[in-house]
Amino acid sequence: MRLKNKVALITGGASGLGKVDAQLFVAEGAKVIITDVNDEAGMALAEELGCRYVHHDVSREEDWQRVMGIVTAEFGGLDVLVNNAGIVQVADIESTSLALYQRMNAVHNDGTFLGCRYAIEAMRERGGSIINMSSLSAIRGYPLVPSYAAAKGAVLALSHTVAVHCREKGYPIRCNSVLPGPIATPLALTVIEDASGMGQPEDVAKMVLFLASDDSLHVSGAEFVIDNAGSMVGGAV
């Protein structure tokens, strides 16, 4: 029960990595709020796990205000935020429109920025852990997904600034980022068809659990690559 009594909000929790995070968090004793834009899948999962589901587009500030209001009213505060919601679309730099670039930025970068802002407000006094899903694409050149990679680079840089800000302010809030290589989820399988050699969502969820739990109390401003050294040997996309 590594998350006993902790209140944890997981964005994009209806599918893939967020779904497995939610399953593991519930098993470890957390009170979990799943948010997503896919209401059907989100509600079904919440019912299965006995947790709360809220509709939430992470790129919209008014949605964050509504979600945080619900979390405060129903759970009394927030201990863990996993900024996990994400989308991907394949288009190399020459075929990427400004609209696509901006949409990727809105979901990943704006969404994570808003999450950090509202989580700091909620956690300033009681402390907590913010976990931002970046990607290996933030630090390696992936020519098929320039808009996604640029947005994930922003998530990584933002995480560093949040961690240092909280330390300097004396807030007991940690902020770390997770950089998975290809992991077998619906998102990754739209980019890469061959799932062989990919990691499994559980491989990432166990790192997210560590960062959410009190085992990581002295860990902040760090980034965790999860790719079984694939990028070092040229094996990752």
Ligand X SMILES: NC(=O)c1ccc[n+]([C@@H]2O[C@H](COP(=O)([O-])OP(=O)(O)OC[C@H]3O[C@@H](n4cnc5c(N)ncnc54)[C@H](O)[C@@H]3O)[C@@H](O)[C@H]2O)c1
Which residues form the interface with ligand X (CB under 6 A)?
A: 11-12, 14-18, 36-38, 56-59, 84-87, 107, 133, 135, 180, 182-183, 185-188
109 or 135, CB closer to ligand X? 135
Between 49 and 188, CB nearer to ligand X: 188
- Backbone dihedral region for residue 151 (phi beyond 0: left; psi -120 to 50: alpha; all else: beta): alpha
Q: Is 53 known to be catalytic?
A: no
The answer to whether the beta carbons of residues 154 and 108 sit under 8 Å apart is yes
- DSSP annotation of 221: S
Task: Compute and round to an integer the Cα radius of gyration of the chain.
Answer: 17
Residue (138 or 173) nearer to ligand X, CB? 138
DSSP result, 10-60: EETTTSHHHHHHHHHHHHTT-EEEEEES-HHHHHHHHHHHT-EEEE--TT-
C-beta atoms surrounding 103 within 10 Å? 16
Under DSSP, the state recorded for 176 is E
Tell me the closest approach of the beta carbon of residue 2 to ligand X, in angstroms: 21
Task: Find how far residue 125's CA is from the centre of its chain.
Answer: 23
Q: Residue 82 or residue 120: which is nearer to ligand X going by CB?
A: 82
- Taking the complex as a whole, the smallest distance from the CB of residue 168 to ligand X amounts, in Å, to 27
Q: Least distance (Å) from ligand X to the CB of residue 22?
A: 11
8, amino acid identity: A
Q: How far is the CB of 196 from ligand X (least distance, A)?
A: 14
Catalytic residue (one of 53, 118, 148, 171): 148
Task: Write down the least CB distance from residue 141 to ligand X, Å.
Answer: 15
Task: List residues bridging with 131 in a β-sheet.
Answer: 82, 176
How far apart, in whole angstroms, are the C-alpha atoms of residue 52 and residue 126? 22
**Closer of 185 and 213 to ligand X (Cβ):** 185
Q: Which residues are catalytic?
A: 148
